[in-house]
Amino acid sequence: MTIFITGAAGFIGANLAKRVLTDEPGAHVVGLDNLNDYYDVRLKQARLAELEAFENFTFIRGDLADKRLISDLFARYRPQIVVNLAAQAGVRYSITNPDVYIESNIIGFYNILEACRQHPVEHLVYASSSSVYGSNSKVPYATEDKVDNPVSLYAATKKSNELLAHAYAKLYDIPCTGLRFFTVYGPAGRPDMAYFSFTNKLRAGETIQIFNYGNCKRDFTYIDDIVEGVLRVMRRPPERKTGTDGLPVPPYALYNIGNSQPENLLDFVRILSEELVRAGVLPEDYDFAAHQKLVPMQPGDVPVTYADTAPLERDFGFRPHTPLREGLRRFAQWYHDFYM
């Protein structure tokens, strides 16, 4: 089997590729990434170096928005499973740099859909985001909830991906599954995420900003739980069925993957600080109180994220379960080993 993973040098993509290559030695993983400099390229290169140690891994450096490249790759490798994880991430970055979100998240995803249409695949799995829920007041967030009021361009592009995928599933009978990820964290993660950026700033003696005066909750989901969820989903595409009208029912599904246990940001910062001290990243006498500042909510942010994962558990017998302290402990130890 050939599995095509976009964003293969990214946080989730690299961990997924490594797990597939380790658990399924007969599989051929083709990875695509443009290795852009949105964050420290050394992290992407380090992830990629681990993958290139596997003989059944092929890496292509290229851009998702390059339609000819994507079409050529599908024609050459004929993947049975496609996992689209490449995207321009970041809520706040989308406010000041909208062009790259349209190019990567809209045009790039369209190119993937077109390639799946021209070169039929068994299953297209793609990354959506908890951001699509916007400022919904009902919690936990369920995939049946209305998500028509995004509060950032990033969220709007992810909602657009879901709509496009549904249309292609209906029109061309392409089995598609969208996964709404909730605040993914862990070793070798994204430096723009709070746990990583806070660590960098605290180590540099800078002040961290805690938004909404600490009155925010996030459903932090450990990377291994995300990968396990993706693996289970990608192996079982939605069934192709015929409706009562004689027309195909879209083979389309949507799931949340989150820890279903929102953590208050102040508690999160306390646990992170304790684990950074434990790992030796920061000294025991570090004055955390002097390096924290409570600030108002920022544009594009939401006060809470909270995943309803009952459908994932019902259909795949799995729900994320890694406690926040355990996940942050692994991150802190990795950070110490990688940077110190």
Tell me if 31 sits within 8 A of 5, measured CB to CB. yes
Please give the model's pTM, rounded to 2 decimal places.
0.96
CA 81 to chain centre: 18
Residue 83 phi, psi (nearest 5): -120, 105
191: phi > 0 → left, psi -120 to 50 → alpha, else beta; which? alpha
Tell me if 185 sits within 8 A of 134, measured CB to CB. no
Tell me if 193 sits within 8 A of 185, measured CB to CB. yes
What's the pLDDT score for residue 145?
Answer: 96
Place of tokens 């390059």: 66
- In whole angstroms, give the CA distance from residue 9 to residue 97: 22
DSSP character at residue 296: P
For residue 112, count CB atoms less than 10 angstroms from its CB and return exposed for 0-12, middle for 13-18, buried for 19 or more.
buried
What's the pLDDT score for residue 7?
Answer: 98
| Tens-digit pLDDT profile for residues 176-214 | 999 999 999 999 999 999 999 999 999 999 999 998 888
Q: What number is the average pLDDT over the span 101-125?
A: 98
Which among 113, 119, 108 has a CA at the least distance from the CA of 62?
Answer: 108
Residue 49 phi, psi (nearest 5): -60, -40
- In whole angstroms, give the CA distance from residue 306 to residue 219: 5
Report which secondary-structure segment, H or E, holds 26: none
Flag whether pLDDT at 22 surpasses 80. Answer: yes
Residue 99 phi, psi (nearest 5): -55, -45
At 276, the pLDDT band (50, 70, 90 cuts) reads: very high
Which residues have CB under 8 Å from 315's CB, separation 6+?
236, 255
- In whole angstroms, give the CA distance from residue 257 to residue 312: 8
Flag whether pLDDT at 110 surpasses 90. Answer: yes
| Tens-digit pLDDT profile for residues 34-72 | 999 999 999 999 999 999 999 999 999 999 999 999 999
Flag whether pLDDT at 19 surpasses 90. Answer: yes
User: Which one of 39, 110, 126, 154 is the catalytic residue?
Assistant: 154
DSSP bridge partners of 327: none
CB atoms within 10 A of CB 277: 16
115 vs 135, more confident: 115
What's the pLDDT score for residue 214?
Answer: 85
CB atoms within 10 A of CB 280: 13
What Å distances lie between residue 146 and 136, 165, 216, 321, CA to CA? Answer: 8, 17, 22, 26
DSSP character at residue 294: E
Q: What number is the average pLDDT over the span 146-165?
A: 95
- Read off the tokens for 202: 């605290």
180: three-class secondary structure by DSSP: strand
- In whole angstroms, give the CA distance from residue 95 to residue 312: 32
Average pLDDT over the chain reads 95
DSSP bridge partners of 263: 218
What's the pLDDT score for residue 304?
Answer: 86
Annotated catalytic, 154?
A: yes
For residue 244, count CB atoms less than 10 angstroms from its CB and return exposed for 0-12, middle for 13-18, buried for 19 or more.
exposed
Share of the chain above pLDDT 90, in %: 89
What's the pLDDT score for residue 285?
Answer: 96
What's the pLDDT score for residue 302?
Answer: 82
